[in-house]
Amino acid sequence: MTIDPTESSTPFASIRELSDFAQEDEILFSMHTVFRIGEVRKIDKKSPLYEVDLKLTPDDDQQLRQLTKSIAKETSGSTGWHRMGKLLLKIGQFDKAEELYNTLLEQASNDSDKAHIYHMLGMMKHSKGKYQEAISSYEKYLKIKRKTLPEHHPSLANTYNNIGLAYNNTGDYLKALEFYETAQKIQEKALPPNHPDLAGSYNNIGQVYNNMGDYSKALEFYEKAHKIKENALPPNHPYWALSYNNIGAACSNMGDYSKALDFYEKALKIREKALPPNHPDFAQSYNNIGAAWNNMGDYSKALDFYEKALKIREKALPPNHPDLASSYSCIGAVYNTMGDYSKALEFHEKAHKIREKALPPNHPDLATSYAWIGAVSNDMGDYLKALEFYEKALKITEKTLPPNHPDLAFSYSCIGGVYNTMRHYSKSLKFYEKALKITEKTLPPNHPDLAFSYSFIGGLYNTMGDYSKALEFYEKALRIREKALPPNHRDLAFSYSCIGGVYNTMGDYSKALEFHEKALKIRKKALPPNHPDLATSYAWIRAVSNDMGVYLKALEFSEKPHTIRENVLPPNRPNFASSYNNIALAYNNMGDYSKALEFYETAHKIQEKALPPNHPDLAGSYNNIGQVYNNMGDYSKALEFYEKAFKIREKALPPNHPDFAQSYNNIGAACNNMGDYSKALEFYERALKIREIALPPNHPDFAQSYNNIGAACNNMGDYSKALAFYEKALKIREKALHPNYPDFASSYSCIGGVYDTMGDYSKALEFYEKALKIREKALPPNHPDLAISYNNIGQVYYDMGDYLKALEFFKKAHKIKEKALPPNHPDLAISYNNIGQVYYDMGEYSKALEYSKKDLKITKKALPPNHPDLATTYKWFGKNYRSMKDYPRALENFEKCLSIRQKALPENHPDKATTYSDIGDVHRLMGDYEKALSFHRKALNIQENVQCNPLDCALTYINLGETYREIKDYSTALTYFQKGLEIRQKKLPKDHPNIAVVYHNMAKLYLSTRQYNMAMKNIQQTIEIAQEKLPSTHPHLLDYKETFEKIRKKM
């Protein structure tokens, strides 16, 4: 304690000589002695005691005198009871204050006392959140006062301000503005231009403009208030802090978080000088600073300041004070953003317990608690619980607030959001439109909250697959934000991101990139370098790059958000899982499946720790891992993970949620790859049924379902059915998407594929070329999907026997893949295989072998040793060696192919049957007819007992026929040829080249049995088809002509 004896001060006396405590230097001070607080130090780490430096103030301390006058004015009252009432309100004892004022009202003997008590009751009701009752009390005050005073008497200004505040809290901003402006006009007439009460009025008006979303106007009034305070108040007056906080809030709403932080820190400095260390106002400052750090994405700093605020409130306030609940809510919100949902829930439930005890049952703050618990439950994937709590919040809001209050719009939006996640689109739209109606009625046309309403509806239409509607609403939101917000506000970036997302889904990648780069540009200017919103921008650019086939760029942009998250989040938060998933996807697309699996599994481990056991995101994780196993050819493992995903969804989601359709599709795809086409079809049809229940009739996801069913029918040899479903898919895309959307190319390719299989090559080419035109317009020049188009066209020319043309297109495809893909990507191996096939059919077997070796080199590096694609490579080695008449080596490679297929595929997979046929064919050529027949029968046994492509079965019948023909069992041979012919005639057009093959085999048989007329009839049918469908140089045509000559000579 420091006392300067030379300065005049409140009298004090040393009583060292009179004290009973000789060891103490005791001093007796007068009442109203005031000290300045200097340094505050903890005595030692273990002790809760502090040492405080105090300095006695002199009598002529001007700052103290002004501060004392101001405080005395705030707590003035005509009697002790009135001062007691004010004090009870100040410390939050609202029920006791109400009891006291009701008693005083009963005892009041004149209108003047009654008016004062009504005024205080209004303040008390307002503090309890009963805004309409507060307005009623204030109006009773005004009614009494207007009997003796004119309408605009200066003493009424305070009440007009209070009524304005109550209307502000009920969301009636225009009414609030009307009363605040009435108060302001009174004060401007009655008071000198720099009076502190005018500053209060300007602050109030600024607050309404802030609520109306006119942040620049709000800032203008806050700064007017600030200028007055500069002239009227001492530099360390606590109201300076209020002024800086208001300006900081306006800057924050305008998206200038660093400027907001600057003003919040100025407010804190004032409070540090003017207030004792544990004053509750410090908590407000710490909260504001915490909010600024939270907006800037520095969650650890945000938590640090929110916890400082909490510590102060725990010391300064009773345990059930509502401000403690506010602190718990803020901390819970940060944990929620960080993905620590259990911690978030813990803090929101603490807040809720306090509010239940401290507040009346329908207080708006209870609705806030319910809304927060609903939000965390939603993020945890517990949608029914989220809905339950959002509806509790809505009930309170409907009871306590007028029917068009903005908080009701917020409640409706939250409920709409849950229904959207649950894919109840009509319900979701209903609630979003309710919210929109309120915001359109209560807010000015360019209020930022309207932009949020439009964004929510835009997001819903995007999920529903109505992209033009989605764009319409996102663009409405953007127009408002461009008018209402400064050019670098983060909400503008959000709008650009949303629009970019729709263009990406629509396949307009250049537009998508343009909008995502606009968003990134704003975020780089407006936010610190490690802000999570930047991670969002990078993730979007990754997604577009991935869809554009620029996989290295996708990988680069996958790693950027990961680096940001490493800097701002604890290691096991769910957002990290998202980063690892994105990196995994990039590796998956680059064909590095082991790396993809590593990152997907890392993501999965994080989610297992951070999320409840049945969270829908875990199902997504299992799907991702299943997808990699599928790409690696381990179909049983893929199926295992797809089924795990399905089990989680059964527990976590409502029965007809669209995510079930995804699960059924994945399981169907695994069954399809395992050769169980009928089971695949069953799962694809289940997926379709769910989508018919859950989605609007022209949703793009229907196209995916129809495509899958079409593919299953195609594999089963039901080409007309396949064509019907592919055309259904195309019709939906024609309604839902713009004409150059890449998915159209996919539809055209599927239809082209069926025509190719059916031997209608001109039709196949027509559709493949349509697909190519779309891809050339929509995609960058080296996109892998362009290679798919070139491959498809090459395949048609190959099937037509135009090998030079086929080679030209296969090489075009290969050129793109070399530029777009890493050197060991499995798709490059497929290219080498295609080129090798052409050389094989051109009779250039050494060249064909060269390409097969290139194929094998990549396949061995890129894929696991039992991948089915490796089996295909060995099959082509076998074919080459067979044609080169190196039968032992042909047999060795066909047996390698079989060995892989036996390990990788189920027992009766159709691909095993084709391998048995190949092995049987080599044994035939080696003259071992018994072995040949044994393998052909093995093939037939699979094909006749398992649902497979009937055309594969037809080929086996024809191979058996050839074997029996060579061993001169002509009647059995003819039976098998006729079986093969019957299938091909049912499944293929009558002029398909594969029908010509059977006629040729039968012609040779009839030649051997000397039935020359029948032989001639069959060879003529053969040549008729071949001349119409095959080019003149096709090797088959040459064979057919040679047989014709042999028959002609015999007749």
**How many Cα atoms are found within 13 Å in the side-chain-facing hemisphere of 1021?**
19
Tokens of 726: 């592919």
Is there a contact between 219 and 187 (Cβ–Cβ < 8 Å)? no
By mean pLDDT, which of 86-100, 244-258, 650-664, 741-755 is the weakest?
86-100
Predicted pLDDT at 21: 66
Please report the pLDDT score of residue 555 as a whole number. Answer: 82
Helices (H), 40-93: 62-74, 80-90
pLDDT digits (tens, 9 = 90+) for 802-825: 888 999 999 999 999 998 887 888
Nearest to 1033 by CA among 803, 763, 799: 803
* Mean per-residue pLDDT over the chain, rounded: 88
pLDDT confidence of residue 1031? 67
Q: Is 371 helix (H, G, I), strand (E, B) or coil?
A: helix
Produce one character per residue of 372-394: b if its CB has 16 or more CB atoms within 10 Å, e if not. bbbbbbbbbbbbebbbebbebbb
As given in the structure block, the two tokens for residue 883 are 């044609």
What phi and psi, each to the nearest 5 degrees, are found at residue 788?
Answer: -60, -45
**pLDDT for 459 beyond 80:** yes
Q: Name which of 732, 778, 771 is nearest 750 in CA terms.
A: 771
Please tell me which residue, 641 or 31, carries the higher pLDDT value: 641
pLDDT tens per residue, range 486-510: 888 889 999 999 999 999 888 788 8
d(CA 162, CA 745): 65
**Cross-strand pairs, 13:** 28
Is residue 72 very low, low, confident or very high in pLDDT (cuts 50, 70, 90)?
Answer: low
Confidence of residue 45 (pLDDT cuts 50, 70, 90): low
Query: pLDDT-derived band of residue 94, with 50, 70 and 90 as boundaries?
Result: confident
Residue 973 · residue 979 · CB < 8 Å = no
Distance CA 727, CA 737 (A): 15
Give the per-residue pLDDT at 78.
Answer: 61
DSSP characters over 549-591: T-HHHHHHHHHHHHHHHHHHS-TT-HHHHHHHHHHHHHHHHTT
Over 90: is that where the pLDDT of 230 sits?
no
Taking only the tens place, the pLDDT of each residue in 298-336 is 888 999 999 999 999 998 888 888 899 999 999 999 998
Q: What share of the chain is helix, strand, coil (3-state, %, to 5)?
A: 75, 0, 20
pLDDT > 90? residue 363: no
**Which tokens in the block code for residue 817?**
């893949």
pLDDT at 768: 98
User: pLDDT: is 255 or 996 the higher one?
Assistant: 996
> pLDDT class for 633, splitting at 50, 70, 90?
confident
Spatial contact of 101 and 117, defined as CB atoms under 8 Å apart: yes
Measured over the CA atoms of residue 175, residue 181, residue 182 and residue 183, the dihedral's sign is positive
Least confident of 14-23, 219-228, 403-412, 1039-1048: 14-23
Domain residue ranges in the chain? 12-62
Phi, psi of 825 (to 5 degrees): -70, 135
- In the block, tokens 């917020």 appear at 410
Residue with tokens 């640090």: 304
Cα–Cα dist 1021/997, whole Å: 10
Q: Burial, 280: exposed, middle or buried (Cβ in 10 Å; 0-12, 13-18, 19+)?
A: middle
**Whole-angstrom Cα distance, residue 44 to residue 449?**
51
Q: What is the pLDDT of residues 761-795, one digit of tens each?
A: 889 999 999 999 999 987 888 888 899 999 999 99
- In degrees, to the nearest 5, what angle opens at C-alpha 907 toward C-alphas 905 and 909? 60
Question: What pLDDT sits at residue 821?
Answer: 81
Residue 644 has pLDDT above 90, yes or no: yes
Q: What is the pLDDT of residues 672-685, one digit of tens each?
A: 888 788 899 999 99
For 12: left if phi > 0, alpha if psi spans -120 to 50, otherwise beta; the answer is beta
At 152, phi and psi to the nearest 5? Answer: -115, 40
- Of 256, 341, 352, nearest in space to 617 by CA: 341
Chain length of the chain: 1051
Separation between Cα atoms, residue 765 and residue 111, nearest integer Å: 96
Q: Which amino acid is at 91?
A: I
**How many whole angstroms separate alpha carbon 952 and alpha carbon 714?**
12
What b/e sequence results for 340-370 when a residue is b if at least 16 CB atoms lie within 10 Å of its CB, and e otherwise?
A: bbebbbebbebbbebbeebbeebbbbbbbbb
pLDDT at 813: 96
CB 445 within 8 A of CB 459: no
pLDDT in tens, 171-192: 788 899 999 999 999 999 888 8
| Buried/exposed 107-125: b ≥16 CB within 10 Å, e otherwise | ebeeeebbbbbbbbbbbbb
pLDDT in tens, 127-164: 887 888 999 999 999 999 888 888 778 888 888 999 99
Higher pLDDT, 38 or 8: 38
